[in-house]
């Protein structure tokens, strides 16, 4: 009897203690809520609404321009002089063809090196007027030997191919390209074409692109579009296709048609070597050496041409790890470049004020900074927080109408994936976590600002592994798949959803639960292709 009484007293005491703690937390929350939390959240809502309007105006502007271009605009062949290169029988069949350098930077590209080298060597161009330059930074001796043997195999067929290595990896891709331009035989070349290791150009790539440079001395760059060979591999690659198709179909097309400026995509493009040199050549000060070069060349007055009809096959990253590293580089680099170049662009006297405003505001600030920040902060932090602080109200036009219109405008690039629009929204919101973090790292020039991890390419490796090990399921280590940041944000969204169900009135819980599930799926690694280690 005494024991029962003691237990009852202890339980009552502990329950009372917990009630006291809960009351104290509630009291502290009420004390800081009105003077601190509410004003802070209202300020964040205001800033997010401003950024949403900026992004909305940019998307609508580009949509209007692209519609006008499609309806009334002329194709690049009409806006610029373009004539096919003809053979001159009197002075030799290849005399009218300029000397072209084709650079293929590589780093341990075991799965795709044969495809890229083979495609480059198959380009329709006189063999005495093209040099294939394989820039191999591989650290694996076996892979280096394989790449070198492949180059020797093509050389034995009469292809002018050079296998170049260097003693270090300073500057990564930019360093390799810069070193490649220093060889004496490059002095005889007029143009340089760059293909990353997973890119496979069609045989007529040079025939269709080079004439723009030959007949238009003000053009410094011709950029082709990317075509994805593995877009149907998994849902994650379909989501990437939607984002990148919008980039090429709208962003690049608008930049080419209106300002003759856009960001070089780092591959599947042809540079006039004179433009590259005048701009200062390759620099490794950021992880977006391609964008850096494009901005500097544009400030020198060079024009760029985008060819949406000229497509080059390539591979999308199909593992979550590879995609996260790529998105970090693509988000951190532009923000860091903006920090380094904003004053240089503003002070430039060779380009018009309108073009400078376009580069600083539209190209960099809205698309590379605001777009990432508002997506994560507004939709994954601020809107859920208003559930906990009902005193702060978000207008419907900011929470529903503007995001819906922006989403629909983004979807025009890939009509075949319209039915996946909801999945695309959820996935983009999850990835905005890493893009926002990378953007701030770039702006503040902190931590991983210069981190460069080469995007993993699988080629046919996954198919081969699947056929060999079809009967055996891979062992999955849970630690390899856990992503703490995504799980943390997912838990926050789930909590806000539960609070909204219990006490809320705006029915945000439907969105909050679905978005939380998306964060949990990515957090536990169940997205993309999983490649076992063994």
Taking residues 350-368, what's their average pLDDT? 95
Q: Which residue has the tokens 């902190």?
A: 446
Domain borders along the chain are 37-74+319-453+478-533, 94-318
pLDDT at 86: 80
CB–CB of 312/200 below 8 Å?
yes
E-strand stretches of 285-369: 303-314
Tokens describing residue 450: 């210069």
pLDDT at 471: 37
CB–CB of 81/216 below 8 Å?
yes
Tokens describing residue 49: 């609404």
Q: Which tens digit of pLDDT belongs to each residue from 276-303?
A: 999 999 999 999 999 999 999 999 999 9
Report CA torsion sign: 151, 153, 155, 157.
negative
CA gyration radius for the chain? 27
| Architecture of the domain made up of 94-318 | Alpha-Beta Complex (3.90)
Give the SS3 label for residue 314.
strand
Q: Which tens digit of pLDDT belongs to each residue from 29-78?
A: 677 877 888 999 999 999 999 999 999 999 999 999 999 998 888 889 98
Q: Which tens digit of pLDDT belongs to each residue from 413-446?
A: 888 888 999 999 999 999 999 999 999 999 999 8
Residue 206: which of 263, 268, 117 has the closest Cα? Answer: 268
Q: Which tens digit of pLDDT belongs to each residue from 222-266?
A: 999 999 999 999 999 999 999 999 999 999 999 999 988 999 999
Put simply, whether the predicted model's pTM sits higher than 0.75 gets the answer yes
Query: Which sequence positions are flagged as catalytic?
Result: 137, 290
Residue 476 CA to its chain's centroid (Å): 28
Which residues, including other chains, have CB under 8 Å from residue 205's CB and lie 6 or more apart?
123, 193, 224, 310, 312
| Distance (Å, whole) CA 508 – CA 493 | 10
Residue 382: which of 243, 492, 267, 518 has the closest Cα? Answer: 492
């Amino acid at each position: 009897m005494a024991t029962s009484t003691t237990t009852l007293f202890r339980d009552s005491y502990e329950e009372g203690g917990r009630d006291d703690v809960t009351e104290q937390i509630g009291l502290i929350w009420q004390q800081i809520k009105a003077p601190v939390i509410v004003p802070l959240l209202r300020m964040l809502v205001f800033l997010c609404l401003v950024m949403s309007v900026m992004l909305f105006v940019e998307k609508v502007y580009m949509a209007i321009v692209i519609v006008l271009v499609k309806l009334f605009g002329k194709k690049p062949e009409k806006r610029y002089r373009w004539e096919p290169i003809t053979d001159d029988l009197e002075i030799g069949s290849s005399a009218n063809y300029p000397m072209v350098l084709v650079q293929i930077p590589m780093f341990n590209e075991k799965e795709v090196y044969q495809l890229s080298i083979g495609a480059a060597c198959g380009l329709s161009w006189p063999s005495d007027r093209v040099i294939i330059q394989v820039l191999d930074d591989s650290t694996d001796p076996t892979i280096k030997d394989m790449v070198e043997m492949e180059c020797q195999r093509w050389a034995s067929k009469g292809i002018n191919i050079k296998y170049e290595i260097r003693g270090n990896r300073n500057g990564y891709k930019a360093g390799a390209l810069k070193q490649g331009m220093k060889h004496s035989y490059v002095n005889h070349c007029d143009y340089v074409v760059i293909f990353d290791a997973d890119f496979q150009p069609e045989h007529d790539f040079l025939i269709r692109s080079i004439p723009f440079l030959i007949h238009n001395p003000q053009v410094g760059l011709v950029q082709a579009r990317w075509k994805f060979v593995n877009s149907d591999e998994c849902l994650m690659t379909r989501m990437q296709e939607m984002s990148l198709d919008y980039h090429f179909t709208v962003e690049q097309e608008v930049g080419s048609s209106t300002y003759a400026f856009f960001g070089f995509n780092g591959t599947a493009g042809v540079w006039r070597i004179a433009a590259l040199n005048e701009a200062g050549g390759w620099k490794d000060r950021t992880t977006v050496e391609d964008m850096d070069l494009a901005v500097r060349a544009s400030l020198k007055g060079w024009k760029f041409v985008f060819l949406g009809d000229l497509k080059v096959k390539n591979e999308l990253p199909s593992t979550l790890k590879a995609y996260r590293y790529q998105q970090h580089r693509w988000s951190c680099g532009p923000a860091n470049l903006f920090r380094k170049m904003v004053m240089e662009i503003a002070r430039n006297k060779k380009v018009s004020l309108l073009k400078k405003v376009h580069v600083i505001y539209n190209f960099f600030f809205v698309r590379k900074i605001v777009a990432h920040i508002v997506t994560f902060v507004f939709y994954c932090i601020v809107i859920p927080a208003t559930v906990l602080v009902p005193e702060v109200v978000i207008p419907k036009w900011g929470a529903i109408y503007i995001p819906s219109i922006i989403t629909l405008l983004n979807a025009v690039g890939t009509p075949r994936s319209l039915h996946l629009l909801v999945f695309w929204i959820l996935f983009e919101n999850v990835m905005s976590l890493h893009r926002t973090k990378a953007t701030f790292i770039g702006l503040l020039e902190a931590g991983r600002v210069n981190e460069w991890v080469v995007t993993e390419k699988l080629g046919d490796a996954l198919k081969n592994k699947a056929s060999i090990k079809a009967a055996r399921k891979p062992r999955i280590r849970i630690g390899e798949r856990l992503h703490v940041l995504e799980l943390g944000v997912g838990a926050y969204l789930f909590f806000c959803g539960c609070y909204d169900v219990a006490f809320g009135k705006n029915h945000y819980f439907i969105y909050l639960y679905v978005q939380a599930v998306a964060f949990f799926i990515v957090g536990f690694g169940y997205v993309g292709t999983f490649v076992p280690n063994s």
